[in-house]
A = this chain, B = another copy of it.
Amino acid sequence: MTDTKDMIAEVCSWIEPDLQKVFPDELSDDITVRASLYSLLAGGKRIRPCFMYQSARMLGMDPDEIKIYAVALEMIHTYSLIHDDLPSMDNDDLRRGMPTCHKKFSEGIAVLAGDNLLNRAYELLFSAKDHKAGAYIAGLAGINGMIGGQSIDIDSEDKKISLERLYELQRKKTGALLEAAICTPCIVAGCPDDIFETMKQISLHIGLAFQIKDDILDVLSNEEELGKSTGKDERDNKQTFVTMLGLEGAKERLDEEISGAYDKISYLKEKGYDTEGFAALTRFMAERTF
């Protein structure tokens, strides 16, 4: 656990300087740029960059080769949080232990800051070497991926949905960007199909595990540790893996997803890949308390 925290800290110091520089200096006074950077630099676990970094390492790449994709992905993730937190969406006041973007600035500026981060991410992706990777990330961020999941989410409010539908929702809403994090290095490296497919399976397990753990923490953790509102799912009458499977059922399912991921990681290890860092990060996902 301590080692993993060190590893996360290492990835943070790897990526933070690049996140700080995503907008040109001469725009540093612009209100939308300030709001965008406020949210982008608010910390957080940087889970997606961590997975992309470890995935690149596992494939024997220099992580710097995929850094620009990790930066763009973190910008896309941050825009989605800013818009999700809006009063017309999840109406959250607290994020990563700080006031949400619309609380700190205004709703109008928060809408614009989200748009700005999304658009800027694509400017970066067009400037990057591998446009196949850009296209791949765009597909996972959109209506067939993250936005599709948000759409199911917003459409499910005050409706009873099936467990199947909840899986689809979360596979897209949370899973798609984790898939982008884990599999983009495969695209850049030009991995053979079976490796790409294995990595994709791993990412599906990790995406679900991540969301189940989030749902569990919403019940068991406290605001101080988590840095965002807790007990919110119940207050909002939200259907989660905990409400559907019960707390014990959710924990069991989390274990199953983590085991599923480990099985596939073992397959890669047998193939000769150095899976140590990636496996540790996966374990951390299941054991984290924030």
Using a CB–CB cutoff of 8 Å, the interface residues on chain A facing chain B are 23-24, 27, 30-33, 79-80, 83, 86, 88-89, 102, 106-112, 114-116, 118-120, 122-123, 125-127, 131, 134-135, 138-139, 141-144, 147-148, 150-152, 154-155
Q: Is the CB of B138 within 8 A of A119?
A: yes
Complex Cα gap A145–B143 (Å): 25
Contacting pair A151 B32 (CB below 8 A): yes
- Are A147 and B115 in contact (CB-based, < 8 A)? yes
Beyond the given pairs A86-B111, A115-B118, A123-B142, 6 more chain A to chain B contacts, judged by CB atoms under 8 angstroms and listed by A's residue number, are: A31-B151, A32-B147, A116-B147, A116-B151, A118-B118, A126-B138
Stoichiometry, as copies per complex, reads 2
Chain B residue with Cβ nearest A119: B142
CA distance A102 to B134 in the complex (A): 30
Q: Do residues A111 and B89 form an inter-chain contact, with CB atoms below 8 A? A: yes
Contacts of A122 in B (CB 8 A): 122, 125, 138
With contact pairs A88-B111, A112-B151 given, residues A119 and B141 touching in the complex (Cβ less than 8 Å):
yes
Which residue of the partner chain, among B107, B109, B135, contacts A123 with CB atoms under 8 Å?
A: B135
Cβ-closest 8 pairs across A and B: A88-B107, A126-B135, A32-B151, A119-B142, A88-B108, A122-B122, A123-B138, A31-B155
Residue of B nearest to A35 (CB): B151
